Amino acid sequence: MADVDPDLMSKIVNLSKRRGIVFQSAEIYGGFRSTYDYGPVGVLLLRNVKDAWWRSMVQLRHDVVGLDASILSPPAVWEASGHLENFTDPLVDCRECKERFREDQLDDPTRCPNCGNNDTFTEARAFNLMFKTQAGPVEGSGHEVFLRPETAQGMFINFKNVLETSRKRPPFGIAQIGKSFRNEITPGNFVFRTREFEQMELEFFVPPDEATEWYEYWCKERFQWYIDLGISPDQLRMRDHDGEELSHYSAQTSDVEFLFPWGWGELEGVANRGDYDLTQHAEHSGERLEYFDQAANEHYVPHVIEPAAGATRSMMAFLLSAYDEDIINDETRTVLRLHHRLAPYKVAVLPLSKKDTLAPVARDVFDLVTPHFMADFDETQAIGRRYRRQDEIGTPYCVTVDFDTLDDKAVTVRDRDTTAQDRVAIDRLLEYLGERLT
Ligand code: ATP
The domain that holds 352 is classified in CATH as 3.40.50.800
Structural domain harbouring 306: 8-73+150-319
Non-local (6+) Cβ contacts of 226 within 8 A are: 236, 256, 258, 267, 314, 317
Per-residue pLDDT reduced to its tens digit, 402-438: 999 999 999 999 999 999 999 999 999 999 999 999 8
Burial of 242 (0-12, 13-18, 19+ CB in 10 A): exposed
Rounded mean pLDDT, 254-270: 97
| Residue 255 in domain | yes
Say yes or no to pLDDT of 353 above 70: yes
| Same domain, residue pair 262 and 402 | no
Domain-terminating residue out of 319, 336, 366: 319
Whole-structure pTM value? 0.95
From 333, 343, 308, 336, select the one nearest 320 (Cα to Cα).
336
The answer, yes or no, to whether residue 166 has pLDDT greater than 50, is yes
Ligand 1 centroid – CA 396 distance (Å): 31
Backbone angles phi, psi at 306, to 5 degrees: -125, 110
Same domain, 315 and 357: no
Nearest CA to ligand 1 atom 25: 193
Burial class (CB in 10 A: 0-12, 13-18, 19+), 354: exposed
Q: What is the pLDDT of residue 246?
A: 77
Is residue 132, in this structure, part of any structural domain at all?
A: no
Q: Is residue 140 pLDDT above 80, yes or no?
A: no
**Residue 48 covered by a domain:** yes
Residue 234 lies in a domain: yes
Domain tally, the chain: 2
Q: What is the pLDDT of residue 27?
A: 93
Q: Report if residue 125 sits inside a domain.
A: no
247 versus 375: the higher-pLDDT residue is 375
- Predicted confidence at residue 311, as pLDDT, reads 98
For residue 311, give the ligand 1 atom closest to its CA.
20
Q: Which residue has better confidence, 356 or 141?
A: 356
Atom number of ligand 1 nearest to Cα 255: 18
CA of 310 to the centre of ligand 1 (A): 6
The three-class DSSP label of residue 101 is strand
Higher local confidence (pLDDT), 142 or 241? 241
Clarify whether residues 296 and 352 are in a common domain. Answer: no
The CATH number covering residue 287 comes to: 3.30.930.10
pLDDT at 282: 98
Q: What single letter denotes the amino acid at residue 135?
A: A
* Nearest atom of ligand 1 to the alpha carbon of 310: 20
Distance 324 CA to ligand 1 centre (A): 27
* pLDDT (mean) for 48-56: 98
Tell me the mean pLDDT in the region 29-54: 96
**Cβ-proximal residues to 260 (8 Å cutoff; 6+ apart), any chain:** 189, 192, 317, 320
Helix, strand or coil, per DSSP, at residue 173: strand
Q: Is residue 134 part of a domain?
A: no
> What does the mean pLDDT of the chain come to?
95
Q: Is 362 helix (H, G, I), strand (E, B) or coil?
A: helix
What digits encode the pLDDT tens for the residues 68-111? 999 999 999 999 999 999 999 999 999 999 999 999 889 899 99
Does residue 314 share a domain with residue 230?
yes
Return the pLDDT at 1.
45
Same structural domain, 182 and 305: yes
Q: Name the percent of the chain lying above pLDDT 70.
A: 99
Mind giving me the DSSP string for 267-315? EEEEEEEETHHHHHHHHHH-----EEETTTTEEE--EEEEEEEEHHHHH
Q: Do 305 and 194 sit in the same domain of this protein?
A: yes
Mutate to test the pocket of ligand 1, among 197, 252, 267 (most ligand atoms within 8 A of CB): 197
User: What's the 245 CA to ligand 1 centre distance in angstroms?
Assistant: 14
d(CA 94, CA 111) in angstroms, rounded, equals 9
Which pLDDT value is given to residue 111? Answer: 93
Q: What is the mean pLDDT of residues 133-139?
A: 86
The per-residue pLDDT for 3 is 62
pLDDT digits (tens, 9 = 90+) for 168-213: 999 999 999 999 999 998 888 999 999 999 999 999 999 999 999 9
